[in-house]
Amino acid sequence: MIEGLDFGILVVIFVSLIISITIHEAMHAFTGHWLGDDTAYHEGRITLNPLKHVDPFATILLPMITLALFHLPLLAAKPVPFNPNRVRFGEFGAALVGLAGPFTNLLLALATAGLINLFQASLSFSILNVLATFLIINIGLFVFNMIPIPPLDGSRLLYALAPESVQDFMASLERMGVVIIFAIILLVPAFGDWLGSINMSIVNFLIG
């Protein structure tokens, strides 16, 4: 339902991304604090101020590049710091911190889909296009961040379930994980197409 990459839709995409990643990162920080780790709190990350969460390249430039290449905005925000040794419930607490971000995006997408389904007949095409863009971006953030490769959020769930040997291997990928993911996306176009297919399958399920 994103009709084109003209200036208007780029503005909608940009604003949707900023809102979505800001809430995503703030929920990471809030969940970590709720579970006993005050690292993000002391760095001022429990906030809806986007300037605290945005990385100029990974949050703004990168999604524009991947949108042009794959018709799917992929991005990363400034990571929310947390100490997994300080959260309650050990690895499962760390998994909750990790999952808080993408599942917040999923909830935002579900709420947006509900608005579209309830009021589609009475909303203008422009408003529907804005809502659909916000929906697609939040599903994209959910799908991308659930890839179980460190440091993406989905890896925290794998950490909680995997044996120690696998955890050690994942920890070795922590610094280079995002580079590996984007290298795969750029060098293996079918992977980006696969992510886009999953994204649109979920969107179509939610709003037909």
Q: How many CA atoms lie within 13 A of 49 on its CB side?
A: 7
pLDDT in tens, 13-52: 889 988 999 999 999 999 999 999 999 999 899 999 998 9
Q: How many CA atoms lie within 13 A of 13 on its CB side?
A: 28
* All residues at 6 or more sequence positions from 179 whose CB lies less than 8 Å from its CB, including other chains: none
Question: Residue 54 in contact with residue 18, Cβ under 8 Å?
Answer: yes
Catalytic sites, residue numbers: 25
Give the chain's largest Cα–Cα span. Answer: 56
Which helix (H) or strand (E) element contains residue 160? helix 154-161
Q: What CA–CA distance (Å, rounded) separates 175 from 149?
A: 11
Neighbours of 206 (CB within 10 A): 16
**Comparing C-alpha atoms, which of 33, 27, 17, 14 is closest to residue 144?**
17
Q: What CA–CA distance (Å, rounded) separates 115 from 135?
A: 10
* All residues at 6 or more sequence positions from 49 whose CB lies less than 8 Å from its CB, including other chains: 22
Q: What CA–CA distance (Å, rounded) separates 67 from 83?
A: 33
pLDDT in tens, 178-198: 778 778 877 787 887 888 899
Q: What percent of the chain has pLDDT over 70?
A: 95
pLDDT in tens, 50-90: 989 988 877 777 777 777 776 666 667 888 888 888 999 88
Q: What CA–CA distance (Å, rounded) separates 23 from 97?
A: 14
Q: What percent of the chain has pLDDT over 90?
A: 45
**Comparing C-alpha atoms, which of 35, 39, 41 is closest to residue 90?**
35
Q: What CA–CA distance (Å, rounded) separates 51 from 206?
A: 31
pLDDT value, residue 71 = 66
pLDDT value, residue 202 = 96
